[in-house]
Amino acid sequence: MTAFVLVAGGHIGGWVWREVVDRLQGSGARVYPATLTGLGDRRHLAGPGTDLDTHIEDLVQLIDQVDEPELVIVGHDTGIHPVLGAADRRPERIARIVHLDAGLPQDGESVLDLVPDPEVRERLLRRVGESGDGWRVPAPTLEEWPLWGSTAGVPEEALARLTRLAAPQPLATLTQPLRLTGAAAKLPTSGILCTANGTSIALVEMLLGYGEPRFQVLADPRVGFFELDTGHWPMLSCPDELAEVLLRAAAGEGHRVTAAGAEVPARFLLDGPERPSERIGPVDLYLPDLSDLSDRSGLSDLSDLSDLDGPRPAVVFVHGGPVPPEKRPTPRDSRTFVGYASQAAALGLVGVTLDHRLHGLGDYGRAAEDVAAAVELVRADPRVDADRIALWFFSGGGLLCADWLAAPPRWLRCVAATYPILAPLPNWGMAESRFRPADAVRGAGGLPMVLTRVELEQPEIAATVTEFLAAAEACGADVELIDVAGAHHGFETIDHTEATRGAVRTALRGVLRHLRAGSL
């Protein structure tokens, strides 16, 4: 007989699993919904000393008291921290660990350590100070729940019940580091991803391709994945589907992912030789050879800038991410960005690549500083026309265009974006971040934008582009939209087709046109 231990995330007691429990028990399973100290009907038991170890011990005691020899233990959201801690102490009793829309905390990491946006962490700590006792985080209000995860699919009455029964969270359960010995590291694992909250199997595979060490364990054949088309609280939005998936996970089912990244082609998707670069600190400059612009990559319908004298306009290519700091080659040395910069140089522009420090979701602030510093370095180069700069963003780097859209400098002639993420995904904890191009576009004024959208985009990313385009239309922003049929995210290493080659040509044509506009 399958037996489950169900552990909800912050502020929530075991009551939240009521409908899931009924479905699982109806299938013959034994179910133990856990209410941790300080939550649910045990809120009166909490004190300033209630910490993560307290919650781990709650689960250890529950595991020791049940009769079933092996348990499937399910951790939702921050509930995965005590789940992993308890599994580490009682690995012989655990048949499988299930991450339900939850992260991958490592030894030494607290819940707050994994909140990517420092502004969100600071706001949470301020709320503790406002609570009156100084050791608890007040429960979210009805309006605040979307800040902690998508509420898609949750009925109004269920959301009201969630708000009414939520308890203040003892702060030390969020700040105490998780300590793991590795005893449970080899246990079978399942991941249930809630796509409306910004996670999918395709996104997991993309992260594996980036080479982030933390995610390589997900390629283990003992790890299976499932998707639910709902928000962050599937126990309230789709209890029947969740119960079915939990039973399948317990049976060892689930999609397996691989660690193999996309094969890097020997050449960029457009023809033409790679140009030599000049490395100046954090940037590489691809300078045009004005004596020979004969090989312009098949762009015969574009006029180059060979007729111009003096400094050249520049295009700064901003890579996406997060990218692990140890990944080699780094983005500016990759075939994709060498190719784009070489194409720019072939047209008489200065192509610019850089490596910025977007290594994790909490790094957008310093990545933005890196991009701004690189742009100023490029503008200061006497070979560059400081008054004619274009910025071209890719993938997760798309959020970095927000600052430039919100207050465009006079010298910024164009912003381009290719398969970009244009709003933080719901589970990134960045709902109130400044890095929201969909909000920033209201300040763009007449700044033109060239946006390349792929047909086979991951749905959670496509939704951010849709949100951005709606905001751009509402404020009358100048957006040239290029739709690429049959193309995937990162098509430069996946899809070398006439459609993708045509899309790059069209995007280059648009950027070049905006850099030429007016008197040079």
Query: Is 266 a member of any domain?
Result: no
In a domain, residue 356? The reply is yes
Continuous segment of H or E residues that includes residue 504: helix 498-516
Q: Which of 459, 479, 460, 461 is nearest to 420 (CA)?
A: 461
pLDDT at 412: 97
Domain, as residue range, for 73:
3-250
Task: Give me the pLDDT at residue 9, please.
Answer: 94
CA–chain centroid gap for 437, Å, is 15
User: How many separate domains does the chain show?
Assistant: 2
Q: Based on the fold, state whether residues 189 and 323 are members of the same structural domain.
A: no
Reading the block at residue 435, the tokens are 């890095």
Q: Are residues 162 and 283 in the same domain?
A: no
**pLDDT number for residue 291:** 62
Contact between 394 and 318 (Cβ < 8 Å): yes
Residues 172 and 233 in one domain: yes
Clarify whether residues 121 and 10 are in a common domain.
yes
Q: Cite the beta strand spans of 59-197 per DSSP E.
A: 71-76, 94-100, 136-137, 169-170, 189-194
**Same domain, residue pair 452 and 401:** yes
Residues 79 and 116 in one domain: yes
CATH number, domain containing residue 286? 3.40.50.1820
Gyration radius from the chain CA atoms: 25
Predicted local confidence at residue 14, as pLDDT: 97
Q: Tell whether 315 is covered by a domain.
A: yes
- 41 falls within a domain: yes
In a domain, 220, yes or no: yes
Residue 107 and residue 29 share a domain: yes
Please report where in the chains the tokens 């939520």 appear, as a residue.
Answer: 166
Tokens of 146: 């979307």
Tell whether 125 and 231 lie within a shared domain.
yes
Sheet containing strand 312-318, edge to edge, reads: 278-280, 283-286, 350-354, 312-318, 384-394, 412-418, 448-454, 478-484
The token pair at 375 is 């742009």
Alpha carbons 228 and 234: distance in angstroms, whole number: 8
Three-class SS state of 492:
helix
The CA distance from 386 to 195, in Å, is 43
Q: What is the Cα 258 distance to its own chain's centre?
A: 19
Closest among 68, 85, 57 to 31, alpha carbons compared: 68
Residue 271 within a domain: no
Contact 34, 5 (CB under 8 A): yes
**pLDDT digit string (tens) for the chain, length 520 residues:** 799 999 999 999 999 999 999 999 999 999 999 999 999 999 999 999 999 999 999 999 999 999 999 999 999 999 999 999 999 999 999 999 999 999 999 999 999 988 877 777 787 788 887 766 889 999 999 998 988 899 999 999 999 999 999 999 999 999 999 999 999 999 999 999 999 998 899 888 877 876 667 788 888 889 999 999 999 999 999 999 999 999 999 999 999 988 655 556 778 999 888 899 999 999 999 999 866 555 444 454 445 555 556 899 999 999 998 888 888 899 999 999 999 999 999 999 999 999 999 998 889 999 999 999 999 999 999 999 999 999 999 999 999 999 999 999 999 999 999 999 999 988 887 766 889 999 999 999 999 999 999 999 988 899 999 999 999 999 999 999 999 999 999 999 889 999 999 999 999 999 999 998 854 3
Q: Do residues 356 and 405 both lie within one domain? A: yes
Residues 332 and 217 in one domain: no
> Is 209 a domain residue?
yes
Residue 229 sits in the same domain as residue 88: yes
389 domain-assigned? yes
Same domain, 284 and 354: yes
